[in-house]
Amino acid sequence: MISISELAYSDDDGATYTVLAEAGNWMLTRAGDHNHPGSYDMLEIDPNGTEIGVWPTGKKSLKLTGIWAYADDRALAFEATGLTVANNPLGAGATSVTASADATGDDQFKVSPAVAAGMLARIELEYLECTDVATVTLTVLRGRNGTTDAAHVLGKAIEVWRPPEPVKEAAAIMAVRRLQRALQGYADASADVDLGRLRFVRGMDPEAERLLWNYRKPGPV
């Protein structure tokens, strides 16, 4: 999680919820580290907090309202594209964002495209998922990752989610590896003439796999 705007608990299996203020009652941490700059993965509730006094026994339901995402550093999770909102204004619920310049061109770091389909964008406090990009027009899904679909005035900055550096490095390693395989004529491939089959090595580069280890989805390896 990036943040929680509201935490509520239930004593009746989710039939009703009571909001629990953060101050003096709960806090978010990263593996117990209260000062970690990355996204949170642990919620600590004080059993002797200012509102509950003693945490009730038995199973309780919790309801979290907040922003869901992973980041190595919450403050640097998004980076500027150099683009701004050209809609005047961009209304809540609108699925088409007009950018101030060609979104398929270079960003402020001379890397293109500045925005592409599949990217997570941010305008003010709202996250938007880009499903298509055509020059200055971004087709988006609004209010993603727990944020609120809201109106934005002309000139607000359009930012994009910055993948963690190890993920970028792993992607570069795999891209180079695949290029080298192609240049070598896929020498690691083999064929079975009788069965009419081609076999290719599918394993991931060990270095790329190591870099991605902390980002893997939990489950069987």
Q: What are the tens digits of pLDDT across the range 183-194?
A: 776 666 666 667
State whether 57 and 93 are in the same domain: no
Residue 201: inside a domain = yes
Residues 27, 56: one domain? yes
For residue 116, the enclosing domain spans: 78-161
Per-residue pLDDT at 60: 78
Q: Is residue 105 part of a domain?
A: yes
Q: Is residue 146 part of a domain?
A: yes
Question: Mean of the per-residue pLDDT values for the chain?
Answer: 87
**200 located within any domain:** yes
Q: What is the pTM of this model?
A: 0.75
- 100 and 151 share one domain: yes
Same domain membership, residue 141 and residue 182:
no
Q: Is residue 217 part of a domain?
A: no
Give pLDDT, residue 199.
64
As a whole number, mean pLDDT of residues 92-112 equals: 91
Residue 203 is predicted with a pLDDT of 73
Q: CB pairs under 8 A, 24+ apart, for 102-105? A: 102/135, 102/136, 103/133, 103/135, 103/136, 103/137, 103/138, 104/133, 104/134, 104/135
Number of domains into which the chain is organized: 3
Residue 18 has which token pair? 């009571």
Say if 73 falls within a structural domain. Answer: no
Residue 218 lies in a domain: no
